Every structure is written in structure tokens, then in C-alpha cells.
Amino acid sequence: MRSTGRTDKDAKELSKLKKIKIYGDSILQGVMYSDELKRYTLFGYRYEKLLENGIEVENCCKMGATIDEGLRIMDDTLEDCDKDTVVVLEYGGNDCNYNWASVAENPKGEFSPNTPEDKFTETYLKLVDFARGKGAEVAICTLVPIDSERFMNWVTRGLNYNNVLSWMGDINRISRWQEHYSHLAEKVAKLANCHLLDLRSVFKGSMGSLLGIDGMHPSAEGHSIIREVFQQKILDDKELIEAL
């Protein structure tokens, strides 16, 4: 039998690892668009700094997930925690989005986002309560910003661009709306007294090479920054570390 190279001591050490479970959408899943392959690929997050500090990271994110789906995923995957787990939540990017095909067909119509504001806040609080009910500490992320022009060009492929722009009023409306949902996530963190992981501010003013062609998913460079900021904010949060 081939040896795995792992000793009994290694197994004991691994069993003592504290855990972070990430629930969110494609951003923290590590999705990015490959210009070379002409399709979405995964960045492949590896959190070496956290692992060096005895913290294991499990990624439960799913591309396209809204807050409702996040609650269902958590119900299926989060077991009782022995006060050794931090749940990190990152939702809002898909919740604030619209059915752009419907908008393009009827630019004078009234449309609701995938998850209306009140429901988003209400469900986010339920998500926090569910995680705490399992014994976990909870941290909430702000949303990585989008680039309005690139986003619009991407979501209107094969649609009537001018109709969508007419409905929006101005091209930057969608980025302001997405920022609003980031503020709602901050509001939930404050209301529920959760730790806040600010991923948004590191992108502000320098989105050029940090976002991909679709204007919403980070590039490899952007994901690298997210990984470093994510790890550092976890390690710098003394209350969060003490909870692990």
C-alpha cells in the first residue's frame, strides 16, 4: 500500500483545525472570465496564510446564487459547530440583478430585482440567525463593485442595448443600485452585530485591471487581491480569531 506521507501526528493536528465556511456567489467562488478560453473558469483560491494559522477554509459558494438559495445551501451543508467555525456570507450581486431580456423587450415596464430590498434584508438576517443557531460566529462581506459600461455591454449581448439603457435612465444606475445592496449588507452586519469584511473599498478607484470583460467578475489580479485582503482582515480581527 502506498503511503500518503501523513502521520498520526499530522492527522491529530488536522483534526484541531479551526474552520471558516464561505457562503456566497461566484465572486468568492473564484469565478473569472478567460479571454483566451472564451469561457468562465475558476481562479482556484488557496488560503495559505489562514492554513498556516491553523484555519481551514471550506468554500460553499455557488455561481448565480441569491440569498434565498444561500439559505437552502446552508441548511444542507452547515452542521452544528463546536464554537470553532466562522461563517462568512457574501450575497447581493445576483439579488440586485434584473431579467435583462424582459427589460429589453419592454423598456417602459416596471421590473423588480431578483430579490427586492426588504426581502433581501429579511432573508439575510434569517441566514445570520441560522448560522448562529448552529453555533457559528458570523462575518458579512461588502460587495466587490461592478464596472457599469462593461457590465452593460455584457448583459445586453443579443438584446436591444438602447432599450435597456432607456429603462435605466443612465448607464451608472446599475452600479449605484449594486452599491445600494452592498450598503444593505453592511446594514445587516450592524443590525445583527456581525463582523464586517470590507472587500469593496480595495477596488474603489482602481477597477480597470481588477475586473474582467464582463464588468462584474474579478480578473486573476482582482481575485489575488481579494484573497490577500480576505486573509488579512480575518487575521487582523482579534475578536473573530478569538472566536475560532
Q: In order of start, what are the domains of the chain with their CATH numbers?
A: 8-98+114-152+177-243 (3.40.50.1110)
Cα distances from 233 to residues 3, 30, 68, 228, 236, in angstroms, run: 37, 18, 27, 9, 5
Give me the pLDDT at residue 238, please: 77
Handedness of CA 101, 104, 109, 113 (dihedral sign): positive
- Give yes or no for a contact between 244 and 178, defined as CB atoms under 8 angstroms apart: no
Taking each helix axis from N to C terminus, what angle separates 117-133 and 67-77, rounded to the nearest 10 degrees? Answer: 10
pLDDT at residue 17, rounded to an integer = 55
* pLDDT value at residue 213: 96
Give pTM, 2 decimals.
0.90
Output the pLDDT for position 102: 98
Query: What pLDDT sits at residue 114?
Result: 98
CA separation, residue 75 to residues 87, 129, 199 (Å): 13, 12, 26
Contacts of 39 (CB under 8 A, 6+ apart): 33
Sheet with 137-141, edge to edge strand ranges: 55-59, 18-24, 85-90, 137-141, 195-197
Long-range contacts (CB closer than 8 Å, 24 or more residues apart) made by 206-209 = 207/145, 207/147
pLDDT of residue 162: 98
Residues 55 and 19: beta-carbon distance below 8 Å: yes
φ, ψ of residue 123 to 5 degrees: the values are -70, -35
Q: Cβ distance 70 to 23 under 8 Å?
A: yes
Residue 239's pLDDT is: 77
Q: Do residues 161 and 239 make contact, with C-beta atoms less than 8 angstroms apart?
A: no
pLDDT of residue 203: 86
So what's the pLDDT on residue 2?
33
The pLDDT of residue 242:
73
By DSSP bridging, strand 39-42 and strand 31-34 are antiparallel
Low-confidence ranges of the chain (pLDDT < 70): 1-17, 205, 243-244
